[in-house]
Amino acid sequence: MGTLVSFHAHPNDDTTTCGGVLRKAHEDGHRVVLVLATRGELGYNPDGLLAEGETLGDRRAVEARAAADVLGVDRLEFLGYTDSGMTAAADGAGTFQTADVEEAARKLAAILREERADVLTVYDEKGTYGDPDHIQVHRVGTRAAELAGTAKVFQSTINREHIKANQRVLAEQAGVDLPAGPDFGTPEAELTCRVDVSAYTEYKRKALLAHASQITPQSTLFTDLPEDTFRTMFGTEWFIRAGQGPGITETDLMA
């Protein structure tokens, strides 16, 4: 059996984009390692959410562990950087997007070597939707794989056509629509890997609910979806692997 290392920017990113492949790898007998760059310190934080003396990063780290248990993660690690938020110009000391790529890559590479990782997941070069920390995951993860000699690197992304179809489903069932710009996700023609995780979507839903502090009025639109609709929306996960394609040539990260 092999080892899958999945690298993400913030708690709950792993659940939405790779939760299915994590649980699938676990069910197939592989070792699963989750590495988070930050504790998501700039996430959703309404008044009254936290207990006295508790920080949002503390809360989200606990939630990350609970979600990881649902997804079958054997080891959870934090690289120790701070959430950068969505402002690309943010330059706070210690934020992930301002981290030295080589230094951060060495931290991740040490884990890859220790685990003798067979597969690493990162994000695509646009960070799927432009989040600065997600873009940094792509840079740091790609370099870490080079340093550690991890040959199989899958870039997690979103199928642009699939998300547009899902918008229509939401519009029909909930009377709402979610705007997606032309650069959101990746055109289907550029994807090289499609993984059917429909057997694990209830694990994804449970893991999303484990990130309780981040369930906003908007996100309940997804967590409250009927089972069949949730499976349609979240039952496939998409990736790009350099040197593969054109078109879908892989359907299992651990094959």
Q: For residue 51, what is the DSSP state?
A: P
Average pLDDT, the chain: 91
pLDDT for 92? 66
What pLDDT is stored for residue 224 in this prediction? 86
* Segments in the chain forming alpha helices (H): 13-27, 56-71, 101-115, 127-130, 132-148, 160-174, 201-210, 220-223, 227-234
Q: Largest Cα–Cα distance in the chain?
A: 54
CATH no. of 1-239: 3.40.50.10320
Which distant-in-sequence residues (6+ apart) come within 8 Å of 155 by Cβ? 121, 122, 123, 124, 125, 138, 239, 240, 241
Q: Which residues pair with 224 in a beta bridge?
A: none
Top-confidence residue, 220 or 123: 123
Q: Evaluate if residue 171 carries a pLDDT over 90.
A: no
DSSP characters for 71-127? HT-SEEEEEEEB---S-TT---TTBGGGS-HHHHHHHHHHHHHHHT-SEEEEE-TTH
Domain boundaries, the chain: 1-239
How do residues 31-56 score in pLDDT, each as one tens digit?
999 999 999 999 999 899 999 999 99
Is the pLDDT reported for residue 5 higher than 60?
yes
Q: How far is it, in rounded angstroms, from Cα 41 to Cα 59?
A: 9
Mean pLDDT of 76-99: 83
Q: Average pLDDT, stretch 164-189? A: 70
* Structure confidence at residue 173 (pLDDT): 64
